[in-house]
């Protein structure tokens, strides 16, 4: 059976978490936060995309667009934190060249811009 629901639901019966064991559920925040950034990119370029994506995200019944966008903001911020933690671990394991540091910093800047777009969209609701 195909579901029209989005995995960014706060509902515990999300297709991304249902039936997973403890090992795989640890990857769920990474998946959700990555999707949140992707949705932010898609929404920033098209109000039509925003309407479609937000209509597909399940809520708790009373969730409106603002609360859905707030959840996207939080999950996108989690992605930035996860990336920063990963970068710290890599730097501890080996010496990273300056060119790769610039790439990572540029990526963080772009990710923060997407979070800003999501925050703006949330505040406009």
Percentage of residues in the chain having pLDDT higher than 70: 67
What is d(CA 72, CA 122) in angstroms, rounded to the nearest whole number? Answer: 9
Any domain includes 50: yes
Any domain includes 7: no
Question: How many residues belong to the chain?
Answer: 125
Residue 57 phi, psi (nearest 5): -80, 125
Q: Residue range 14-28: average pLDDT?
A: 51
For residue 91, the enclosing domain spans 22-124
Residue 8 near residue 39 (C-beta atoms within 8 A): yes
Any domain includes 62: yes
What is d(CA 5, CA 58) in angstroms, rounded to the nearest whole number? Answer: 6
Any domain includes 44: yes
What pLDDT does residue 61 have? 67
Count: domains in the chain: 1
Q: Residue range 95-99: average pLDDT?
A: 52
Residue 37 has pLDDT above 90, yes or no: yes
Any domain includes 34: yes
What pLDDT does residue 93 have? 73
Any domain includes 14: no
Any domain includes 92: yes
Residue 33 near residue 75 (C-beta atoms within 8 A): yes
The model's confidence at residue 109, banded by pLDDT at 50, 70 and 90, is confident
Q: What is the pLDDT of residues 39-88, one digit of tens each?
A: 999 999 899 999 999 999 887 766 789 999 999 999 999 888 888 888 77
What pLDDT does residue 83 have? 83
What pLDDT does residue 95 have? 60
How far does the chain reach from its first CA to its final CA, in angstroms? 33
Residue 12 has pLDDT above 70, yes or no: no
Maximum distance among all Cα pairs of the chain, rounded to whole angstroms: 49
Model pTM score: 0.66
């Amino acid at each position: 059976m195909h579901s029209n629901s989005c995995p960014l639901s706060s509902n515990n019966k999300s297709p991304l978490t249902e039936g997973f064991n403890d090992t795989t559920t640890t990857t769920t925040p990474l998946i959700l936060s990555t999707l949140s950034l992707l949705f932010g990119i898609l929404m920033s370029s098209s109000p039509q995309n925003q309407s479609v994506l937000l209509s597909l995200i399940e809520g708790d019944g009373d969730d409106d667009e603002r609360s859905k966008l707030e959840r996207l903001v939080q999950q996108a911020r989690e992605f930035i934190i996860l990336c920063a933690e990963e970068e710290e671990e890599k730097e501890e394991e080996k010496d990273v060249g300056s060119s790769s540091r610039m790439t990572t910093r540029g990526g963080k800047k772009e990710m923060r811009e997407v979070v800003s777009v999501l925050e703006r969209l949330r505040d406009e609701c």
